[in-house]
A and B are shown apart, each in its own frame.
Chain A
Amino acid sequence: MTDDLKTYISRQLDAGKNADSIKDILIKYGWQPVLVDEAFEALNTVNTKTEVDNKMAKTSSKAYSGFWIRLLASILDSFIIGIPAAIVSFVIVFATGIDSIYYLINFAVAAFIIYLDGIHGGTPGKLILGMRIVNEKGEYIGIPLAILRYIGKSLSGVILGIGYLMIAFDSKKQGLHDKIASTYVVKV
């Protein structure tokens, strides 16, 4: 991807040309579609980052949820989700004698957490305490990023939970998993 290509696209867009027609012309003149798409994406990333920096700059640091309230949310989640899941798996495993059902329920809980984080902005503990997980645009993060964030949580907990402790010391109250997925936990 060359700077010339990006410069050309940027000038065409500023001149009011439609993105699709710009793409068609470039492909017609032999540019690879992959390179053209990447150039557009790079220009969008630059524009988005500028908008994001402005947006996040307007948000005061008090809008980010800190360590203690997020810890409280986790404790609430352990009562709302954790304990019922443990009771259900105990009863089913005892009744059926199939130990691996415990893992199936564990998986179901993880999938549920990912769904809630991605689509509804957080698990019940966060929602009750008025917090939401958002991306840099302030939107809910969706399933792919919720999976990435969940993977990041595994890393956060690996070395004595340092990834979680980062929340307390970071200016935007991001843990390691938040930094990996570029997410923020904000108060609504």
Chain B
Amino acid sequence: MLMQDIKKIFNSSYNLIMRNKRVIFPVLCSMLIPFVLVLTFVQLSGFGPLFSEYISLRHGFDQQKTSYLTNTENIGKQGYGMELLNYLGRDNDDSTYNSELEQYLSEKGYDWNRYSELVNINNLVLLGIFILIGIISVFYFACMAQSLIALYIKKRDTKISSTLRVTNHFLLRYFGLEIAIFTILLAPIFGAVLLITIAGFFIPILAVILGIIFVFGILAYLILVSLKLFFVIQSMFLNDQGVISSIKQSFQMTKGNLKQVIILGFVVYGISLFINGLISQPLQSAVSGFFFPTGPVAMSISLMMIFFFMLLQAAALTFSYVFLFYSYTNFKPGNK
């Protein structure tokens, strides 16, 4: 695969997203729904009021700190430098910020034991239900994302009714495919661990030797099989194939073309580095800032940042899916 092909695939993917922005909708839903479920659980379970009280007290503590540090009369006083360093490096392990916050909360009568009272049967059942709803909705919208992209690439009708119909058509097969991929990738690992464990009972040194061999062997296996399964999802959604046929086709397509697949995989890895560094990490930080804010204003700003980076992440993830689909169509023998 020439770099010109990668440029062409990249441009096609970019243009599809820019011209059809609603293609990011399913991925956005798959991210929003778990977030809403967590917020709902926090409110329904009774954790919400405890969090609010914590936020309020922490805001007061931070105000005390910043008032002291920004007061010019305190600059030069003994201990000022250490106070400043501890506040600026409050996320570091060697900062005294957290221990001072604990002491402040204790003085204000904030009782952490109230959290343990909320770990009851009702809340556990509620948590279980929400987790189940979250998993089902994330999976459904992941399937919808692939279906919608396939409809756009095949230039078919992309109305909501068509999208839902196609999603429902592929849902069970997609579930079967994920199970199959999971089994293909992880079954040898479980087998190896079992073998090493059994060997360890009888001849420990053999277990160590086998362990070292298996680490490299499993790594090579995972990389090779991941490359062979590179086009399995695209094969299913674009050709309306079953689980086994999709896997077979992906293996056939990549046979003799592993070098090109490695180059594509490298680019996809680069896209994931880009997403992780510029979008996922900020999103995680914003979520953390929202659930553990320093005050109400900080909480609001964190919430806005969550929606902003969620939108960006949805666009970037959708882009990576579209890139894989176009990589498949570029690979497809019938189109060459």
Contact = CB atoms under 8 A, between A and B. Distances in A.
A107 B279 contact: yes
A142 B66 CA distance: 45
Among A35, A99, A152, find the residue whose CB has the most chain B CB atoms closer than 10 A.
A99
A96 interface: yes
Given A34-B155, A104-B305, A99 B91 contact: yes
A70 B66 CA distance: 42
Interface residues of B, number: 42
B270 A151 contact: yes
B88 A94 contact: yes
A107 B91 contact: no
B23 interface: no
A16 B150 CA distance: 37
Contact of A155 (B11, B266, B285): B266
Nearest to A141: B7
B278 A110 contact: yes
B7 A104 contact: no
Interface string A83-113: 0000000000010111111111011001000
Contacts of B277: 154
Which bracket fits the contact residues of A?
Answer: 35 or more
Contacts of A151: 267, 270-271, 273-274
Contact of B267 (A158, A180, A182): A180
Interface string A53-89: 0000000000000000000000000000000000000
Nearest to B330: A38
Contacts of A179: 3
Contacts of A110: 278
A143 B10 CA distance: 11
B269 A155 contact: yes
A97 B295 contact: yes
B294 A103 contact: no
Interface string A153-166: 01100100000000
B19 interface: no
A98 B335 contact: no
Contacts of A103: 281-282, 285-286
Given A98-B301, A147-B10, 12 more contacts: A94-B88, A97-B294, A98-B294, A99-B91, A100-B289, A104-B305, A107-B282, A144-B11, A145-B11, A151-B267, A154-B273, A155-B267
Interface of A: 1, 34-35, 38, 41, 45, 49, 94, 96-104, 106-107, 110, 143-145, 147-148, 150-152, 154-155, 158, 179-182
27 contacts: A1-B336, A34-B155, A34-B335, A35-B335, A96-B297, A97-B62, A97-B66, A98-B298, A98-B301, A99-B289, A100-B285, A101-B305, A103-B285, A104-B308, A143-B14, A144-B10, A144-B11, A144-B14, A147-B14, A151-B274, A152-B270, A154-B274, A154-B277, A155-B273, A181-B3, A181-B7, A182-B7
